[in-house]
């Protein structure tokens, strides 16, 4: 996924953030950092295709994201949102299976191959014991994993997560980030996530994107001084 | 599909047949079972009046109950999914009130303005059109309000306010209209399946069948909307187009049913919840047929109760469905607060 000179926001007169350029490759796990209100969610919404950029280009492979149809985009980017989902009477497996919708027919019937893929992803994320439970009975950490599994079923090269660790305790946080790291490494996906948890981000991600208060967009790749560099850009001690 | 689901469908279908037959047996005039069978099978009836009662009143009424129950439940299910709101339904959101407004305009205003009313005015496409337009109008109002706030209780209150405002408008029209038109309108607001005649029931069955098939074809889209707009968009769904189709399907269902049977409260709200708990699924491919059967059963039973077998009284169906449905709403809201 690449972006060139991106300007994001809701109105042309008041751009939220500008001059964003980046290149993210296969197997990259990237943490998007920045203070509240700086525009992290707006950037994630824009590169997910949920809203148009004010100007600039986003490409995935050969495809220009802003010029693709919603159906085409569904095969390029999948998302995990921060909003809490409360759906009654849906099993974990059927929620994960909804990730196949871009590829199923007009009534959404799953093929044998779909079922097999769903099974593989369930075992990859170690959700076997939960798959027949109802989604609403799960803990926040388990729910988050199920939503990641749904996104994986969409088989997109890029997965975008808006604060996936926001409501989680310490152990679940590590667990989710470790899961995402595995996904990146084994399935060669590009994972982009926003977070406020700098320590965890530095530990698991190989790149950080920082939206600084001076309105600059900085990219840092993992090195020995990774953590220190990230903190200095965020003006933290 | 799971085997237990097949079993449930068979049980519900049998229940529906039983409830349908019950409607033919019970009414203010008691007719022996053997004679009912004779009349239905077309053999020579022993009593001409009985034949008339069964074929001209009870049969169309019974069919109307089945189709009204099915259609209201399916439309309520779709509203709950679309607004992601467990207490949405045609009655609570004021959609039925919108349909009433359409019909009131047709019956009352045309009388107030001295337009000559033919008998046909009340029995065909004109009523469906009036009620459907009224329903769709209010649906769009709800739709735009839900853009601004999506709070379970707030939408409930706004629905009630819309209903209240419309009642006031209708009362004004009532004050201005002729006695005959007024009587016809008030009778209609009681909500009843037994005043639906053979001509009307054909229209009702046709429109409701179309509406249900149309809704079933939307089941994949409805399943995606369970996750909310953003997930649905990122799964490749054209959310705006889908929602317009849902508004259309639910409005013709709720509108046409309200046109012929009057406002029937709470069926569209309660039955989707009952079928979700019964089938333990959120999949619309299963829930839509489940709502058709369960809604049919419940409206048939309400129709039997409203006939109060053994007495001369006929109670308004709307009163019975509301008595059964109101506790369900309270139960849902209590359950919500716990989550």
Give the CATH number for residue B200: 1.10.3470.10
Q: In angstroms, what is the C-alpha Rg of chain A?
A: 18
Cα–Cα distance measured from residue A98 to residue A151, given in angstroms and rounded to the nearest whole number: 9
Distance of CA A77 to CAs A70, A125, A184, B155, Å? 10, 19, 14, 33
Residue B119, burial from CB neighbour count under 10 angstroms (0-12, 13-18, 19+): exposed
**Which residue shows structure tokens 């919708």?**
A101
Q: At what angle do helices B59-82 and B3-25 cross, to 10 degrees?
A: 140
Radius of gyration for chain B, computed over Cα atoms and rounded to the nearest angstrom? 20
Interface residues from chain A to B (CB-CB < 8 Å): 48-50, 69-75, 77-79, 81, 83, 85-91, 94-95, 98-99, 101-102, 104, 106-108, 134, 136, 154
> Percentage of chain B with pLDDT > 90?
36
Tell me the torsion sign for CA atoms B296, B201, B247, A106: positive
Mean pLDDT check: name the lowest of A92-96, B107-111, B129-133, B204-208: B107-111
B173 Cβ partners below 8 Å, 6+ apart? Answer: B104, B105, B108, B109, B112
Q: How high is the pLDDT of residue A206? A: 92
Which of A203-217, B25-39, B286-300 is predicted least confidently? B25-39
Residues of A in contact with B281 (CB under 8 A): 89-91, 94
CA torsion through residues B184, B189, B190, B195, sign: positive
* pLDDT at res. A97: 96
Q: pLDDT for B139-155, tens place per residue?
A: 888 878 877 776 667 77
Q: Is B33 part of any domain?
A: no
Residue B159 covered by a domain:
yes
Lowest mean pLDDT among A222-226, B44-48, B52-56, B120-124: B120-124
Between B128 and B266, whose confidence is greater?
B266
Q: Is residue B37 part of a domain?
A: no
8 Å CB contact between B292 and B312? no
Distance CA A38, CA A20 (A): 13
Q: pLDDT (tens digit, 9 = 90+) per residue, B99-110? A: 888 888 887 777
Overall average pLDDT of the B253-273 stretch: 89
pLDDT, block means (10 residues), chain A with 237 residues: 92 90 93 92 94 93 90 94 87 96 90 95 94 93 94 96 90 91 93 91 91 91 77 78
Q: What is the ipTM of this complex?
A: 0.94
Whether B259 is in a domain gets the answer yes
Q: Determine whether the interchain pair B223/A101 forms a contact, defined as Cβ–Cβ distance below 8 Å.
A: yes
Backbone angles phi and psi of B123, in degrees to 5: -130, 20
Q: Report the residue from A71, A79, A94 with minimal CB separation from B236.
A: A71
| Helix axes B3-25 and B284-306, enclosed angle (nearest 10) | 20
Rounded CA-CA distance B212/A140 in Å is: 37
The closest of B48, B71, B61 to B22, measured between CA atoms, is: B61
Per the domain annotation, does B56 fall within a domain? no
DSSP string, A48-76: HTSS--SEEEEEETTEEGGGS-HHHHTTT
* B188 pLDDT more than 80: no
* Residue with more model confidence, B225 or B175: B225
Cβ(B38)–Cβ(B46) below 8 Å? yes
Record the tokens describing residue A136, joined without a space.
């609403």
> Which of B223, B228, B234 lies at the smallest CB-CB distance from A74?
B234
Task: Tell me what percent of the residues of chain B surpass a pLDDT of 70.
Answer: 92
pLDDT-derived band at B120, boundaries 50, 70, 90: very low
Question: Which has the higher per-residue pLDDT, B322 or B186?
Answer: B322
Residue B43 counted as domain residue: no
pLDDT of B117 higher than 70: no
Query: How many beta carbons lie within 10 A of that of residue A60, not counting itself?
Result: 21
Residues of B whose CB is below 8 A from A134: 280
Residue partners of A11: CB distance under 8 A and separation at least 6: none
Q: What is the pTM of this model?
A: 0.90
User: In the prediction, which pLDDT does B115 show?
Assistant: 60
A-B Cβ pairs (cutoff 8 Å, strict): 81
More confident residue, B44 or B38: B38
- Does residue B67 form part of some domain? yes
Q: Does the pLDDT value for residue B27 go beyond 80?
A: no
Highest mean pLDDT: which range of A113-117, B56-60, B162-166, B246-250? A113-117
Q: What is the spatial distance between Cα B87 and Cα B160, in angstroms, rounded to a whole number? A: 12
Q: How far is CA A120 from the centre of its chain?
A: 20
**Mean pLDDT across chain B, nearest whole number?**
85
Task: Tell me if B10 is assigned to some domain.
Answer: no
Domain, as residue range, for B164: 61-338
Number of domains in chain B: 1
pLDDT at residue B143, as a whole number:
78
Cα separation, A53 vs A33, whole angstroms: 20
pLDDT of residue B200: 87
Q: Give the closest residue to B98 by CA, choosing from B260, B254, B261, B320.
A: B254
Which residue, A25, A23, A30, A60, is CA-closest to A181?
A30
A89 vs B224, B230, B281: nearest CB? B281
Q: Which domains does chain A have, with CATH numbers?
A: 2-232 (3.40.50.300)
Convert B300-323 to b/e letters by CB count within 10 Å (16 or more is b).
Answer: bbbbbbbbeeeeeeebbbbebbbe
User: pLDDT category, B337, cuts 50, 70, 90?
Assistant: low
Q: Which of A151, B81, B84, B10 is nearest to B1 (CA)?
A: B10
Of the listed ranges A65-69, B183-187, B198-202, B269-273, the one predicted with least confidence = B183-187
Q: Which helix (H) or strand (E) holds A18?
A: strand A14-23
């Amino acid at each position: 996924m690449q972006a060139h000179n991106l300007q994001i926001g809701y109105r042309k007169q008041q751009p939220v953030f500008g001059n964003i350029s980046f290149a993210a490759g296969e197997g990259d796990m990237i943490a998007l950092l920045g203070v509240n209100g700086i525009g992290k969610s707006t950037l994630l919404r824009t590169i997910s295709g949920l809203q148009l950029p004010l100007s600039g280009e986003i490409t995935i492979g050969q495809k220009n994201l802003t010029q693709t149809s919603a159906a085409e985009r569904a095969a390029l980017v999948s998302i995990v949102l921060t909003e809490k989902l409360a759906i009654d009477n849906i099993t974990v497996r059927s929620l994960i299976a909804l990730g196949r919708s871009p590829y199923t027919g007009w009534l959404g019937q799953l093929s044998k191959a779909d079922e097999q893929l769903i099974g593989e992803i369930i075992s990859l994320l170690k959700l076997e014991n939960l798959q027949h439970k109802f989604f609403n009975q799960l803990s926040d950490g388990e729910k988050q994993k199920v939503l990641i599994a749904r996104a994986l079923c969409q088989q997109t090269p890029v997965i975008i997560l808006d604060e996936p660790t926001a409501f989680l305790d310490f152990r679940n946080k590590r667990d989710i980030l470790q899961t995402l790291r595995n996904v990146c490494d084994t399935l060669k996906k590009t994972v982009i996530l926003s977070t406020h948890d700098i320590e965890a981000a530095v530990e698991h991600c190989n790149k950080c994107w920082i939206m600084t208060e001076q309105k600059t967009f900085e990219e840092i790749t993992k090195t020995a001084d990774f953590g220190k560099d990230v903190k200095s850009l965020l003006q933290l001690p | 599909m799971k085997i237990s689901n097949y079993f449930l469908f068979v049980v519900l279908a049998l229940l529906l047949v039983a409830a349908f037959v019950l409607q033919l047996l019970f009414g203010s005039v008691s007719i022996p079972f053997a004679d009912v069978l004779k009349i239905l099978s077309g053999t020579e009836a022993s009593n001409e009046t009985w034949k008339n009662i069964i074929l001209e009143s009870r049969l169309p009424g019974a069919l109307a109950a089945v189709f009204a129950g099915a259609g209201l439940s399916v439309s309520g299910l779709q509203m709950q999914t679309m607004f992601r709101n467990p207490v949405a339904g045609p009655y609570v959101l004021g959609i039925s009130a919108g349909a009433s407004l359409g019909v009131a305009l047709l019956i009352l205003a045309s009388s107030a303005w001295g337009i000559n009313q033919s008998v046909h005015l009340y029995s065909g496409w004109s009523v469906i059109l009036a009620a459907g337009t009224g329903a769709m109008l209010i649906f769009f109002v709800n739709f735009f309000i839900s853009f601004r706030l999506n709070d379970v209780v707030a939408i409930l209150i706004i629905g009630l306010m819309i209903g209240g405002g419309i009642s006031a408008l209708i009362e004004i029209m009532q004050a201005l209209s002729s006695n005959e038109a007024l009587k016809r309108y008030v009778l209609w607001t009681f909500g009843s399946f037994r005043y639906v005649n053979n001509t009307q029931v054909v229209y009702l069955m046709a429109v409701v069948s179309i509406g249900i098939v149309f809704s079933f074809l939307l089941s994949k889209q409805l399943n995606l909307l369970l996750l909310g707009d953003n997930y649905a968009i990122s799964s490749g769904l054209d959310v705006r187009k889908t929602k317009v189709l849902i508004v259309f399907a639910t409005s013709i269902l709720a509108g046409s049913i309200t046109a012929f049977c009057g406002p029937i409260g709470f069926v569209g709200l309660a039955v989707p919840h009952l079928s979700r708990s019964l089938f333990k699924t959120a999949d619309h491919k299963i829930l839509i047929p489940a709502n058709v059967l369960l809604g049919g059963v419940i409206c048939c039973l309400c129709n039997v109760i409203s006939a109060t077998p053994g007495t001369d009284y006929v109670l308004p169906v709307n009163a019975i469905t509301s008595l059964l449905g109101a506790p369900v709403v309270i139960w849902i809201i209590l359950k919500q607060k716990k989550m």
